[in-house]
Amino acid sequence: MINTAFAEPIIVNLPSLKMAKAIRTGNEPEEEVIRFLENWAADKGIDISKARRFGFDYPVSDEEKAKGYRGYCYLLQVPEDMQTCEEVELVDFSGGSFISLRISEPFSPIEKIPEGWHALVKHIQTNNLKVEWCSFASCLEEVITQDGKCYMDVMIRM
């Protein structure tokens, strides 16, 4: 049976972008880091409705793992002319080609997200695609709202 929550994987080309970067570790690092960085952006007058935003799992120490903690990095597009910032690190996201799978309504239930990652990895392995597994920002999640529906694109750099 075909899972209609997932679209067929496609290749997408992401542009180079200047991004603000924040990392959090804990029991729910995604919510914490997203809230922090989006509040920071709002305080700086950045219109996040038009900004690209990517998240990805971030490694934690053995000590943090033993506590049940996870890590999450969040990148939020900032104006190209933004030069320095004390509160967050500014990074240049190199963009490039990614193999992408779209998940429909990814948070209902939340298990769709790891299932989507597994489906994407299976597609990569089945088709012998060459991807970058371990470089910075090589595996991304991007939440998109389109026509009132929520989607998540999970992507791996090619």
Residue 68 identity (one-letter amino acid): G
What's the residue count for the chain? 158
Beta bridge partners, 140, equal 155
> How far is CA 153 from each of CA 12, 73, 104, rounded to the nearest angstrom?
10, 16, 9
47 and 71 co-located in one domain: yes
Same domain, 32 and 76: yes
Does residue 127 share a domain with residue 102? yes
Radius of gyration of the chain (CA): 16
**pLDDT, tens digit (0-9, with 9 covering 90-100), for 67-98:** 999 999 999 999 998 877 777 999 999 999 99
Q: Which residues contact 26 (CB under 8 A, 6 or more apart)?
A: 32, 69, 70
In contact, 38 and 137? CB cutoff 8 Å: no
Using DSSP bridges, classify how beta strands 53-58 and 149-157 pair: parallel, antiparallel or unpaired.
Answer: unpaired
Q: How many domains does the chain divide into?
A: 2
Indicate if 105 and 72 belong to the same structural domain: no
Q: Which of 93, 127, 149 is the last residue of a domain?
A: 93
Shared domain for 21 and 78, answered yes or no, is yes
**79: nearest Cα among 90, 87, 64:** 90
How far apart are the C-alpha atoms of 47 and 42, rounded to whole Å?
Answer: 7
64, 131: one domain: no
Rounded Cα–Cα distance for residues 111 and 155 (Å): 17
Domain range enclosing 7:
1-14+95-158
pLDDT of 78: 95
pLDDT at 149: 93
Give the pLDDT confidence score for residue 1 in this predicted structure.
Answer: 38
Instruction: Note the pLDDT of residue 3.
Output: 65
Give the residue ranges of the chain where pLDDT is below 50: 1-2
